Amino acid sequence: MSENERRLKSLMRTHSTWAKVSTLTAEDSDVEVSEPDPVVLRRAFDAFVAQIGVDAWLTRRDAIAAEFQRKSAELMGYVDAPLLAFDDTIAWYLYLCELAIARPYEMPTYYSSRTLPFIGVIGRKLQYAGSVKNLDAKLRETMTDRKREPDGFIFEVIVALSYAELGWTVEFLPEGGDPTPDMRVERSGVKLLVECKRMSSRSQYAIEEEALWRLHWEEAVPSLREQGQSVWLDVVAHARLETLPNDWLSKRIAGLLPLIDNDATSSDENATVRVRLIDRKALDSDLKWSSLKLAGSKLRHLLGGDWVPENAITSLSVDGERKDSSETPGYFSTFLNTVDWASGATFSCDADDAIERKARDVKTTIARAVRQLPNDQLAVLHVAFETLEGPGVEAQRRKKVISSVERMESMKAVIAIVLHALGPVDSKDQVIVIDETSSDFWRGPPMKNFIPNMVILPAGYGAQSRKGAHWL
């Protein structure tokens, strides 16, 4: 074993905390999970790293680790940190695997929750890799040529393994000068082409809206501190946020605080703001036996309670005794021993035009997928998008998608379109949590039972899954 191989082994040593974590079972998950998270993450990690070798990986890993630690140190004064981005995105994803396995207390949960479920499903389904030709070449390209934008290739790998899971033999097709589908699959003499598209996780408008909300929250924090009460707000804007002045929230808070009763509400045509005192029972009970991660989801759930739904946009300001869980102090490894004062808010916007801007259609994406296909061979399209914008946006998106697909005419020999609505969850107590809802549209021979309409969940799960969308 080389020195670098020994170093990698040491870096990836499973943290002792995993020994205390039970494997998910059918009793607490929709799907029975037979292997713990570190096992499936490490299996996928090894498959990717094998494509470039340990020496090359450690060079890229060290660059990502240094950049992450630098950014974490720069963010020490924040409670709500700005979004992170790395040029070597696939190395960032694999570094998150390392943190989850070996140093979970340093893990940035927001980013891990949107990355590790996809890496983990590859680890679970690699047992079918023997039926996927050119899989190593696809993984190698993900690690090299597509290292800045790996998400589409990761989805292709997941789809390929899902077809293999259902008994198909799969062949990734090399990209050429002419448009080429992603893969060819065959089962019992039936041959199909498969094209995959994964949309970016959020619309640009949604990203800009959240950034603007952060500015409005920062403007309001001094008013909250001046009042001194620990409160949580539920803020629903009825107008696009960019149409409201930056100080509208602070003025609304000044009219609601201090609270005389446990809660109060203020509503007009621009927004409805509810505010209530934070119930410290659950928080104090948790702090008796553990510290709370400043950048973690659990703290927000303890403070906001049922006003903090899954994947909600939240903001927080908190005072208390802090400690660091890493040798290199930083924002993402900071924990709270005490909470002396805290206030936070959950934000959403139900303005029709804001919802319309966030509810992106898949029509353009499907059209691009069709252009990759020949005219004379049966094909299936798999399109993935993430459901991170709340029930109102996702309901509107669903309407737009169904309408667009039903009206599309130039479909060549496409026999089916399968839409995968994926909902990674920033869970307060688990590493890998993700929901999946699929919608399929058939135009050719009925092979529904043989096509994976679930790919993140087990490929055959769609046949017995509950009806309806996971965000409802």
Q: Give the count of domains, the chain.
A: 3
pLDDT tens per residue, range 221-259: 998 999 889 999 999 999 999 999 989 999 999 999 999
Question: Order of strands across the sheet with 379-386?
Answer: 132-133, 169-172, 183-187, 190-198, 379-386, 414-424, 434-442
Domain containing residue 175: CATH number = 3.40.1350
Final residue belonging to a domain, choices 335, 354, 373: 354
143: exposed, middle or buried (Cβ count in 10 Å: 0-12, 13-18, 19+): buried
Residue type, 53: G
What is the per-residue pLDDT for 80?
75
Same domain, 38 and 137: yes
Q: Could you tell me if residue 468 is inside a domain?
A: no
pLDDT above 60 (res 466): no
Classified as helix, coil or strand, 337 is coil
What is the per-residue pLDDT for 277?
95
pLDDT tens per residue, range 407-464: 666 677 888 889 888 888 877 777 888 888 888 888 777 787 899 989 987 776 655 5
Secondary structure element (H or E) that encloses residue 197, with its range? strand 190-198
Q: Could you tell me if residue 247 is inside a domain?
A: yes
Half-sphere exposure in the Cβ direction for 197 (13 Å, CA): 19
Same domain, 22 and 76: yes
Same domain, 182 and 220: no
Q: Could you tell me if residue 265 is inside a domain?
A: yes
Question: Order of strands across the sheet with 292-293?
Answer: 292-293, 334-336, 322-324
- d(C-alpha 117, C-alpha 204), whole Å: 23
pLDDT tens per residue, range 298-349: 899 999 999 998 778 899 999 999 888 777 778 888 899 999 999 999 999 9
Q: Could you tell me if residue 312 is inside a domain?
A: yes
Same domain, 40 and 52: yes
Q: How confident is the model at residue 470 (pLDDT cuts 50, 70, 90)?
A: very low
Same domain, 120 and 176: no
pLDDT tens per residue, range 32-87: 667 888 999 999 999 999 999 999 999 999 999 999 999 998 888 777 777 788 99
pLDDT tens per residue, range 111-132: 888 899 999 999 999 999 999 9
- Highest averaged pLDDT of the listed ranges 146-160, 282-296, 344-358, 421-435: 146-160
Residues 6+ apart with CB under 8 A from 466: none
Domain residues for the domain of 256 are 204-354
- d(C-alpha 255, C-alpha 238), whole Å: 19
Q: Could you tell me if residue 472 is inside a domain?
A: no
Same domain, 245 and 292: yes
Final residue belonging to a domain, choices 296, 321, 354: 354
Same domain, 266 and 315: yes
Calculate what percentage of the chain has a pLDDT beyond 90: 50
Final residue belonging to a domain, choices 354, 382, 416: 354
- How far is residue 391 CA from its own chain's centroid? 16
Query: Mean pLDDT across the stretch 179-199?
Result: 91
Same domain, 315 and 378: no
Q: Could you tell me if residue 164 is inside a domain?
A: yes
Same domain, 348 and 268: yes
Please give the residue that has the higher pLDDT: either 417 or 19.
417
- d(C-alpha 450, C-alpha 459), whole Å: 10
Query: Model pTM?
Result: 0.89
CB count within 10 Å of CB 422 equals 25
Same domain, 343 and 212: yes
